[in-house]
């Protein structure tokens, strides 16, 4: 069983924000595999299904980004899942727009949702699919960063994101069927 959590903020006013790329990606993965977010469990909207023989729980926390850990901790308990079962999809300021990086463990890199998860579950050792949203400037002020992550993608950026979201679905499929090392080798390089 794998618990795949997309990070974001609930509510239509945040739906197209850069910070919600995690929600966008798990939504696409769910649509691709016929999984609907038709349940409320563990402070999240949840959908369940089987993908390539693997039981999958998809979740979009409804706690807001900065408290994502509360939902992840509740979901791990509800489904009796281990940290090894957890895959988190989230935005990454330090990656160029549209780049993807899969890794296990490491720091939060300033992502408050990841900080919250690490604090709540007591370990950074879970798999992450980081999706680049780009950095607003080389030397950003805090307000610029907040405005950037809570802003919506510009039309030219949206084209890039529309290409990376299906790649994230492919990466998640690869994680489920072939494991972490293979997924990292295949998806951590720039698309050709």
Domain ranges of the chain: 2-187
pLDDT at 110: 87
Active-site residue, from 19, 28, 90, 148: 19
| Active-site residue, 19 included | yes
The string of DSSP codes covering 29-86 is: HHHHTT----EEETTEEEEEEEETTEEEEEEEESS-GGGHHHHHHHHHHHTT--GGGE
Q: How far apart are the first and last CA of the chain?
A: 32
CATH superfamily of 2-187: Peptidyl-tRNA hydrolase (3.40.50.1470)
Q: What is the pTM of this model?
A: 0.94
φ, ψ dihedrals at 161, nearest 5°: -65, -40
As averages over each run of 10 residues, the pLDDT of the chain (192 residues) reads 97 93 98 97 97 97 96 97 97 93 94 96 98 75 73 92 97 97 93 68
């Amino acid at each position: 069983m794998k618990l795949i959590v997309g990070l974001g903020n609930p509510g239509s006013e945040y739906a197209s924000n850069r910070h919600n790329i995690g929600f966008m990606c798990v939504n696409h993965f769910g649509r691709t595999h016929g999984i609907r977010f038709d349940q409320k469990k563990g402070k999240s909207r949840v959908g369940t299904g089987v993908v390539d023989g693997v039981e999958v729980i998809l979740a979009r926390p409804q706690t807001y980004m900065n408290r994502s850990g509360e939902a992840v901790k509740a979901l791990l308990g509800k489904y009796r899942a281990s940290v090894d079962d957890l895959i988190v999809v989230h935005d990454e300021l330090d990656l160029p727009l549209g780049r993807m990086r899969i890794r296990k463990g490491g720091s939060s890199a300033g992502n408050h949702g990841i900080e919250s998860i690490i604090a709540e579950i007591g370990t950074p050792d879970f798999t992450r699919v980081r999706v680049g949203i780009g950095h607003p400037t080389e030397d950003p002020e805090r307000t610029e960063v907040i405005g950037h992550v809570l802003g919506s993608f510009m039309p030219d950026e949206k084209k890039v994101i529309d290409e990376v979201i299906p790649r994230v679905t492919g990466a998640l499929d690869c994680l489920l069927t072939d494991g972490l090392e293979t997924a990292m080798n295949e998806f951590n390089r720039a698309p050709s």
